[in-house]
Amino acid sequence: MSFLTKNKRFIQKNYPSLISLIEDDDINDPMCTITETKNNETNMVVTVDRQEYFLHSKYNATAEARNWISTLQSEVTSSGHVLLFGIGLGYFLEALLELSEVVQVYVCEPSIIVFNQMIRTRDISKMFSDSRIKLVAVGENPLFLKQIANQISTYLVSNRLVTAIPPIYKRLFMQTFEDLSNDLKDSMIDQIGNLQTYTTFQNLWITNVLKNMRHTIISSSVNLLENAWEGSKAIVVGSGPSLQEDISYLKQLKDKCLIIAAGSSIQALQYNGIQPHLVVSMDGGEPNLRVFENIDTSQVPLLFIPQINSDILEIYKGEMVFALFTRDLISNYLWSNHSIPKFLNTSTVTGTAIQAARYMGATEIILMGQDLSYPQNQFYTPGVAHIPVELQKKQLDEAANLFVPNVDGGENPTTLKMHITLRDLEVLIKLEMINGLSFTNASRRGAHIEGTEYRALDDLITELLELPSRDFNVAVRIESPTKDNQVKLLEQMKTKLDYILKQSKTVEQKLKVMLETVEIMKKNSSARNRAKVNKNLNKVDELWKWITNRETFTVFFAFTRGHHMNIYKRYIPMIVETQDPLKKAELISEHLGNLLARLKEFLPELQELLKNTLDHLDILSTEIRGDTNERLV
């Protein structure tokens, strides 16, 4: 059996995502040719700009790889977590895996050709079967590198990562490595930000999702608007200071472009006498409520996400539709029997507005007021008044030392949070470009946004005014579900919530027993009673499997306590690979024990939320079945 056939079977079974990269035909690339070392090991010659480079030593590939790895041993010993950028024909990876200090390895091979040559010339099954390998990625597409960085960073918020790049890869792929390193840095910062966000908003989100059920039940989803304005151009308006210079143009474009207010910009638009066709909102915090307290909510339809501040929906007088976030596990569970459009979670409402525009049929997005920085040390455009001036000043002070390129070739001050928001939006833009969207950034002096072309609205306006006139009236397309459908949906939701409430009480009992077992196991471990510890480990494993297969865990715990679960997941490889039952018991007691305590303390709060929601749905049921034709609020 050839190496290719054997390796292909192995990859199909163990790394199926890589199977599409395998070329079935022979590799006849004159830039990458197979040769041998002096001691008959497989080697490869790579030609770049007419210069030949051997991928490995011409004499002894294994010895060279071991010598290189030895220079990293002290770093690897202190960390244990390694990103290996470039495996060559496998020798670099094999040498790394010989170090017992290695805990986890993330493998990135930038060259698809090198990967294909490796699987044709060497048996990879042994090295790639090592359980310490947590990720294998092949390729150097910029969007792909960002995805790799995001995957790695989810494991490593609390651990130091050693990046290992063989010298030959520094010569051949240094730019790709630097791109990945920058993406990884941004992603790690983003993960830390997400952790802080989850810590702050975890309970607020679930509260809003459940409270807002009385509105999602009686509202239609955004699927009423699918492709309603196919082939149109959409203007997504932000609150940046640049908006003021071009805002007057929007009055001329009301029948030329679909105008969408992204969150707080609705204040600036109404302040200037402009009613957009739609406002999109998702934030659950108090500042977002102040946005809608500052405007006339009867004038513009609202597209909301269920995590939105629940008081906003109570005061909103205009038409409303909703969509779900892909990572809103609770809403996705509750609406699993219905085809509700789902948008990717983004750190900015602009990302949600872009996805909504694409869903409604737009093929080009024009960004206005999307400065994503603080040009000329300005915070918002006039009319945006939901953030206190002293808080704006504080954030501007924080922006004194960090800068991003702007559309004029200069730099704008920014904060770390705003920088993350910019990078997050750029990733979404690249994804949407795959869906066929094109992007124009018309935000004067705003940050340069990758994936967009900057054109001032002065240059665009003539072209836009020549577009055919269209009716972009969103409100006339929105219809509420019939009373019968509302009643049917309400009963479905009540059934699901009641099921979770009852299940959570059983989970609570299981958690109680599990925590007691962990405490007993700690005592048995201290007494070095291996027989009893093994018995305890089996019981903990049995209880944990039961709990983790219940919706209370996979949906409600995962949504509200996901960051605690991710922290525990980082220690799972160490726990699994530990053979000594006493050491395993110690690791489980510390890391799983902490998670169990977090879950147990949350359950009474979850149960109270579920009970209150069921009570509110009972009231809603009475309102729906009543004789009133008034809108339910």
Measured CA to CA, the distance from residue 162 to residue 78 in angstroms comes to 9
Shortest CA distance to 419 belongs to which of 192, 154, 158? 192
pLDDT at 50 over 60: yes
Hey, what amino acid is at 227? N
Whole-angstrom Cα distance, residue 120 to residue 165? Answer: 23
The per-residue pLDDT for 628 is: 42
| CA gap 385, 270 in Å, rounded | 12
Which tokens is 333 given?
A: 């569970």
Share of the chain above pLDDT 90, in %: 69
Q: What are the φ and ψ backbone dihedral angles of 364, each rounded to 5 degrees?
A: -135, 135
Put simply, whether the predicted model's pTM sits higher than 0.75 gets the answer yes
Q: In sequence order, what are the residues at sequence separation of 6 or more whose Cβ sits closer than 8 angstroms to the Cβ of residue 5? A: none
Task: In whole angstroms, give the CA distance from residue 472 to residue 85.
Answer: 50
Confidence of residue 377 (pLDDT cuts 50, 70, 90): confident
pLDDT tens per residue, range 256-294: 999 999 999 999 999 999 999 999 999 999 999 999 998
Residue 197 has pLDDT above 70, yes or no: no
User: Could you read off the pLDDT of 502-561 as tens digits, one per residue?
Assistant: 999 999 999 999 999 999 999 999 999 999 999 999 999 999 999 999 999 999 999 999
Instruction: Write the Ramachandran bin of 162: left for phi over 0, alpha for psi from -120 to 50, otherwise beta.
Output: beta
Could you tell me the CA-to-CA distances from 189 to 92, 149, 421, 422 in Å, in that order? 29, 11, 11, 13
Q: Bigger pLDDT: 369 or 424?
A: 369
- The pLDDT of residue 633 is 39
What's the confidence (pLDDT) of residue 198?
57
Assess contact for 474 and 319: CB atoms under 8 A: yes
For the stretch 153-166, pLDDT in tens is 765 555 577 889 99
pLDDT digits (tens, 9 = 90+) for 114-141: 999 999 999 999 999 998 998 888 988 7
Radius of gyration in angstroms for the set of CA atoms belonging to the chain, rounded to a whole number: 28
At residue 297, does pLDDT exceed 90?
yes
- Three-state SS for 139? coil
Average the pLDDT over 576-594 and give the result. 91
**Do 300 and 316 form a contact (C-beta atoms < 8 A)?**
no
Say if CB 490 and CB 530 are below 8 A apart: no
- Of residues 148 and 471, the one with the higher pLDDT is 471
Instruction: List pLDDT tens digits, range 403-444.
Output: 999 999 999 999 888 888 898 899 899 889 988 899 999 999
How high is the pLDDT of residue 627? 47
Whole-number pLDDT of residue 149: 76
pLDDT on residue 191: 60
**What is the model's pLDDT at position 159?**
59
> With left for phi above 0 and alpha for psi between -120 and 50, is residue 385 left, alpha or beta?
alpha
Domain residues of the chain, as ranges?
A: 3-25+64-193, 219-477, 483-625
- Average confidence score pLDDT of the chain: 90
DSSP lists the bridge partners of residue 33 as: 45
pLDDT above 60 for 192: no
Q: Return the residue matching tokens 């196919």.
A: 230
Q: What would the CATH number be for the domain defined by 3-25+64-193? A: 3.40.50
pLDDT band at 188 (very low <50, low <70, confident <90, very high): low
Cα–Cα distance for residue pair 231/340, rounded to 1 Å: 23
Residues 6+ apart with CB under 8 A from 631: none
State pLDDT tens for residues 434-485.
888 999 999 999 999 999 999 999 999 999 999 999 999 999 999 999 999 9
Give the strand pairing for 42-48 and 51-54. Answer: antiparallel
Query: Of residues 233 and 416, which shows the higher confidence score?
Result: 233
User: What's the rounded mean pLDDT across residues 219-226?
Assistant: 97
Question: What is the spatial distance between Cα 488 and Cα 492, in angstroms, rounded to a whole number?
Answer: 6
The pLDDT score that the predictor gives to residue 25 is 66
Whether residue 300 contacts residue 266, with contact meaning beta carbons closer than 8 Å, is answered with yes
Q: Which residue has the tokens 């390998």?
A: 133
Ranges of beta strands (E only) in 243-284 are: 258-262, 278-281
Spatial distance between the Cα atoms of 406 and 237, rounded to a whole number of angstroms: 18
The reported pLDDT for the residue numbered 9 is 93
pLDDT of 430: 87
